Homo-oligomer: A and B are copies of this chain.
Amino acid sequence: MARSVREQMVDSAVILLATRGLDGTSFSEVLGASGAPRGSIYHHFPGGKDELIAAAIEVAGERAVALLRSLEGRSPVEIVDGFFAMWRAVLERSRFSAGCSVLAVTVAGGSGDADGLLGAAGRVFRSWQSALAAVLAAGGVPAGAAEPFATLLIAASEGAVALSRAERSYEPFDAVHQVLREQARGFQGI
């Protein structure tokens, strides 16, 4: 069963957000990348661009949560490695031209006030923190340490991906990964 036109548009929006940012994710680009017909934009997304972008970062958020949950049962070091492997694949496949679609929406800033997209981005980030903290706790990280360490992992990986994009080098990303990996080792008492 082929993916629906709507799903193709959302998938294209995820990729465009990650590579060109919020304003680079125009309808023209989305239609060009997805092959969707122009006339179907407001049929599938009556709320216009905001609805498309919100759907995109929610899908991206759910995919990352699914990956995090798949790490359940692993050790803290393995969880860190698995999480960073996901991000490194983004850099590798795009050759430093892609990053995080949720971060792109966050820093684009919208109109400045209580923007709906910013709230959606915040919910995605929170869902990542919860899922990661849960698998870390299941992996043996002490109760009080799992939440803050999960937040650090997410913040640091977001920043590391951005640094590596700007510097076009894996060096910042790998350095951050190694330091956090050592920290995770400390939770295992090895």
Contact = CB atoms under 8 A, between A and B. Distances in A.
A167 B122 contact: yes
A151 B170 CA distance: 12
Contacts of A126: 167
Nearest to A183: B183
23 contacts: A21-B22, A21-B23, A21-B108, A22-B108, A99-B106, A99-B107, A103-B162, A106-B166, A107-B165, A118-B166, A121-B166, A122-B166, A122-B167, A148-B175, A148-B176, A152-B179, A154-B163, A155-B156, A155-B157, A155-B158, A155-B162, A155-B163, A159-B160
Given A22-B108, A97-B109, A151-B172, 4 more contacts: A99-B107, A151-B160, A155-B159, A155-B176
